[in-house]
Amino acid sequence: MREFNVTGLCVPGKHYMVDISEKLRQIMVMVEKGDYFTINRARQYGKTTILNMLEKQLPKEYTAIKISFEGVDDEKFETPQAFCQALLYLCARYFRNMELPGEEDWKDDSVTDFLLLDNFLTKVCRNKKIVLMIDETDKTSNNTIFLKFLGILRDKYLRRNSGNDYSFQSVILVGVYDIKNLKMKMIKAGTHQLQDGEKRINSPWNIAANFKVDMSFSAPEIATMLNEYEKDHQTGMDVKTISEEIRAYTSGYPFLTSRLCKIIDEDLNKDWTLNGVLSAVKLILEEDSVLFDDIIKNMESNKELFDLLHDIIISGESFTYNHFNPAIRLGVMFGILSNEGRALAIHNQIFELFICEYFISLKDTNPQKGITKTIVSEIVENGKFNMELCIKKFMQHYYELYNKSKEKFLESECRLLFLTYIKPFINGTGFYHIESETRNSLRTDLIIDYGSQQFIVELKIWHGEQKHEKAHEQLIKYLNSKNKSEGYLLTFDFRKRRAKKPSAKWVRKGKKKFLDCLAV
């Protein structure tokens, strides 16, 4: 019986898999053109699986060689001789493991430097269409030798195109770091020093074609996997609706997509409903996963990225996408950020929630003063959440603690203060998620679910009456889009001449009403 797989390579016939035939077709076009290129995506993004599928589907006139640097001893990257022999060994081992002829062609003890390797590759590639695939290209401690190898491939590629040499038909490098960021990683680790005139992001791989294949899964692609599952289990799920909901939370991140499905199938008694997807999201956020560990590690080791994520998620700031910004470049490379119509966005809602929870945790455990907690029984009575009372209590505590404060951080962290306050009330039963402006032009901040109740809460900073009226209009539009009659607007006032006390009043506009609150 097939299952959803989230550990390593996905195998057709053994695992439920998304139909990636269109992605493979696009990659094959590049191979047929003789392109050299890189597939750089974040961890657990399906890179190894798509490489394996490509290897199996290459036409007969092509020869695939798929190797990986994972597990290769560091000393193999210390000298040209060690690297050249390791490379030849990996290629020979591939043919042996695949039980294909060609192992002996890749054995030559005389290849002890890159010049000799150049000559050797000319011989083995003569009149052949060999596709070299190198996985885990960033799993080395000293990448200087590898960069020199890429320089050899670049020179052979140029000579091949001018008719003066033989080389690989196509070379595909796969890893998290692209070659430009690989050099920056080496500089940061102290394994590479810039030479006179050498640029920080100068690449020996400047002949690489742009890899534009979207590796994320669309809702129709997710549906192909769920249709296969439905054939086996006949749960009666609405495949189209569930596929779209999974896509909405994951933005098609391959690991998250499969993990949600696996949780629903194995841990939630095959609850293939919208509520089942939401329950799976809650569970995945509680998991101690390698993917989430990586996010925290990358945030903590890159202050610029940490600050950028804080500005987006906590301060609610908007940024134009610019790949040349180092923090943005890293965030995209690690799969945390994405480009959505030239606007910078968190890649998916699950990451957004996870990172937000992390910031809340940092605030909650900070020994400095925080918002006083209200007794849960005051806010939740007979299983019903009283959002009006919750916001009023928050404003009162906020006023008591911060009314006379001159701390500048408050303006950028007001959203964090509210989330820190409300989180204990909804834990276990409730759930919140952040609506991103780049995913919906009708911007709102929070949607809070508690049992069958759903609350829409807009958080703003006071910027004058005109802006405040626009906030009213924006909230009304969003209520209309969600078919809701009631919402909440919480505005933080940092003016010197502000109201003396917090205020809250219900405002009705047509068939909609909202609680207009001013926190001071």
Three-state SS across 408-425? CHHHHHHHHHHHHHHHHH
| Joined tokens for residue 221 | 């692609």
Decide if 224 contacts 19 (C-beta within 8 A).
Answer: yes
Question: Do residue 181 and residue 223 come from a single domain?
Answer: no
Average pLDDT, integer, range 394-409: 73
Where does 290-383 show beta strands of DSSP type E? 337-340, 343-346, 380-381
Q: Is the pLDDT of residue 197 over 90?
A: no
Amino acid at 356: C
pLDDT at 433: 81
Share the mean pLDDT of the chain. Answer: 89
Bridge partners, residue 512, by sequence:
509
Q: By percentage, how much of the chain surpasses pLDDT 70?
A: 88
Radius of gyration (Cα) for the chain, nearest Å?
Answer: 27
Residue 516 or 408, more confident: 516
Q: Is residue 454 part of a domain?
A: yes
Average pLDDT, integer, range 114-139: 95
Question: Do residue 244 and residue 121 come from a single domain?
Answer: no
Listed in sequence order, the residues at least 6 apart from 342 whose beta carbon sits closer than 8 Å to its beta carbon are 320, 321
Q: What angle do CA 123, 81, 40 make, to 5 degrees?
A: 80
Give the residue from 287, 307, 334 where a domain finishes: 287
pLDDT at 438: 42
pLDDT at 441: 46
Average pLDDT, integer, range 98-102: 93
Question: Do residue 165 and residue 279 come from a single domain?
Answer: no
pLDDT at 495: 80
In whole angstroms, what is the distance from residue 163 CA to residue 34 CA?
Answer: 13
Question: Do residue 185 and residue 272 come from a single domain?
Answer: no
Pairing status of strand 512-519 against strand 486-492: parallel
Q: What are phi and psi of 316, to 5 degrees?
A: 70, 25
Among 70-79, 219-228, 347-356, 406-415, the range of highest mean pLDDT: 219-228
Burial class (CB in 10 A: 0-12, 13-18, 19+), 165: middle
58: domain CATH number?
A: 3.40.50
247-279 b/e with 16+ CB inside 10 Å = b?
bebbbbbbbbbbbbbbbbbeebeebbbeebbbb
Residue with tokens 């699986």: 49
Taking alpha carbons only, the member of 343, 333, 342, 285 closest to residue 305 is 333
Give SS3 for 338: strand
Angle between helix 144-161 and helix 80-97 axes, rounded to 10 deg: 70
If pLDDT is split at 50, 70 and 90, which confidence band does 374 have? low
Q: What are phi and psi of 311, to 5 degrees?
A: -65, -40
Average pLDDT, integer, range 98-105: 94
Q: What angle do CA 459, 443, 462 make, to 5 degrees?
A: 35
Q: Is the pLDDT of residue 406 over 80?
A: no
Question: Do residue 271 and residue 133 come from a single domain?
Answer: no
Amino acid at 117: L
pLDDT at 368: 47
If pLDDT is split at 50, 70 and 90, which confidence band does 101 have? very high
Q: Is the pLDDT of residue 373 over 50?
A: yes
pLDDT at 138: 80
Q: Is residue 52 part of a domain?
A: yes
Question: Do residue 57 and residue 183 come from a single domain?
Answer: yes
Q: What are phi and psi of 339, to 5 degrees?
A: -100, 115
Average pLDDT, integer, range 20-45: 96
pLDDT at 408: 54
Number of other CB atoms surrounding residue 150 within 10 Å = 23
Decide if 201 contacts 180 (C-beta within 8 A).
Answer: yes
pLDDT at 476: 93
Give the residue from 255, 287, 319 where a domain finishes: 287
Least confident residue range of 33-47, 181-195, 343-357? 181-195
In whole angstroms, what is the distance from residue 443 CA to residue 283 CA?
Answer: 27
Give the residue from 287, 306, 341 where a domain finishes: 287
Taking alpha carbons only, the member of 119, 202, 180, 184 closest to residue 155 is 119
**Predicted confidence (pLDDT) per residue in 468-512, tens digit:** 999 999 899 989 988 899 999 999 988 877 777 899 999 999 999
pLDDT at 358: 93
Q: Is the pLDDT of residue 367 over 50?
A: no
If pLDDT is split at 50, 70 and 90, which confidence band does 86 have? very high
Bridge partners, residue 37, by sequence:
172, 209
pLDDT at 431: 85
| Joined tokens for residue 55 | 């290897």
Sign (positive or negative) of CA dihedral 360, 363, 366, 372:
negative
Q: Is the pLDDT of residue 362 over 60?
A: yes
Question: Do residue 150 and residue 254 come from a single domain?
Answer: no
Give SS3 for 135: strand
Bridge partners, residue 453, by sequence:
450
Question: Do residue 244 and residue 146 come from a single domain?
Answer: no
pLDDT at 341: 84
Angle between helix 144-161 and helix 114-125 axes, rounded to 10 deg: 40
Q: Which residue range forms the structural domain that includes residue 275? A: 219-287
Question: Do residue 457 and residue 502 come from a single domain?
Answer: yes
Question: Do residue 109 and residue 240 come from a single domain?
Answer: no
In whole angstroms, what is the distance from residue 190 CA to residue 253 CA?
Answer: 32
If pLDDT is split at 50, 70 and 90, which confidence band does 317 have? confident
Amino acid at 126: R
CA distances from 333 to 42, 249, 362 (A): 6, 20, 25
pLDDT at 442: 47
**Predicted confidence (pLDDT) per residue in 228-280, tens digit:** 999 999 999 999 999 999 999 999 999 999 999 999 999 999 999 999 999 99
Q: Is residue 346 part of a domain?
A: no
If pLDDT is split at 50, 70 and 90, which confidence band does 73 have? confident
Residue with tokens 């560091």: 74
pLDDT at 330: 92
pLDDT at 36: 97
| Joined tokens for residue 45 | 């993004």
Question: Do residue 519 and residue 382 come from a single domain?
Answer: yes
Q: Is residue 205 part of a domain?
A: no
Number of domains forming the structure of the chain: 3
Q: Is the pLDDT of residue 306 over 90?
A: yes
Question: Do residue 512 and residue 395 come from a single domain?
Answer: yes
Listed in sequence order, the residues at least 6 apart from 380 whose beta carbon sits closer than 8 Å to its beta carbon are 386, 425, 429, 450
